[in-house]
Each structure stands twice: as C-alpha cells, then as structure tokens.
Amino acid sequence: MEDAPILICYDGSEGSKRAIAAAAALLKDRRAVVLNVAPLVTVAESFALAGPGPAVYEDLNRESSLEQARAGTKLALEAGLTAEPHADVGSPTWDGIVAVADELDAAAIVIGSRGFTAARELVQGSVSHEVAEHAGRPVIVVPPPHTRAKS
C-alpha cells in the first residue's frame, strides 16, 4: 500500500480545488491520480439519442472528462504533487469513483464537499457521502470554507 496512489476527485468546482490543496498539504509524498468521472450520457444528449447513438456520446464525454482531469492535474502539479490525469464515464458518479479507486488500489480518496444541508442532500444526493459509504478505503472529505456569522 506504500506505493498506492491517492485518488483526487476533480470536477472544476471550488470544492474539488480545495480537495487538491488539502491533498497537497496532507499527502504530498504520495503519487496522485486526478480523476474526473463524466456521465455516460448527459441530459441534453439523452434527448438526441435518436441520432448517432450513446456510444458516440460516451466517447465525447470521456474526452471532455480527460480535459477536466488534465486541468485538475495541472493544479495538483502546481501544488507540488506528483500527479497524472485519469478520466472515466459512469453513472452514478460515486460508483465510477469507487470503481477507479478499486482499479488503482488507491491508498485513499480525496474529495470535496459542497456542504449541503441534510434536506438538500436528501433531494440532490451527495457524491462525497456515497463515496465515503461505499469506498471501503480511507476517504478524506474536504468541506467548504468555514464561514463565521458576523455579529
């Protein structure tokens, strides 16, 4: 497990950028794989399925996912990590993340959180919550910045 990489989830959001920063601060001696998981077919593409078919969209989504992973890898390298990009497509997203972590035998997964309230999480779901529940390995969930109420 000493050589196992850390898997950093990156989707371009502020939360995923914070995950890269946290990984660099806490796990800088580990090799990192920056992962973006795209959907097999987006909502817009599902309306166009009468056209070329889902395989074409899956390829396009994989390419887009790799571009996003490369952008995250650039940030990880700038933060001092030894990192490489990895892209995949999957649905639901958390399942794709767990599958890649299993494939790489990742030492840990680092993922940002949007900090949803319980009610909003119930409606929209939480990728970080599902990853932590199903990963079977350490998961570092990086929360949004703490904001203090002004008096």
pLDDT of residue 26: 95
* Parts of the chain with a pLDDT under 70: 1, 41-57, 115-125, 148-151
Say what the pLDDT of residue 50 is.
Answer: 53
Q: Which residues contact 53 (CB under 8 A, 6 or more apart)?
A: none
Helices (H), the chain: 14-26, 43-47, 54-78, 93-104, 118-124, 127-134
Superfamily of segment(s) 6-142: HUPs (3.40.50.620)
CA–CA gap between residue 44 and residue 21 (Å, rounded): 33
Assigned token pair, 84: 């490489």
For residue 116, the model assigns a pLDDT of 56
The pLDDT assigned to 148 comes to 67
> What's the pLDDT score for residue 121?
47
Structure tokens at 76: 């990880």
List pLDDT tens digits, range 139-148: 999 998 877 6
CA distance 91 to 39: 6
Give residue limits of the domains in the chain. 6-142
pLDDT for the residue numbered 45: 44
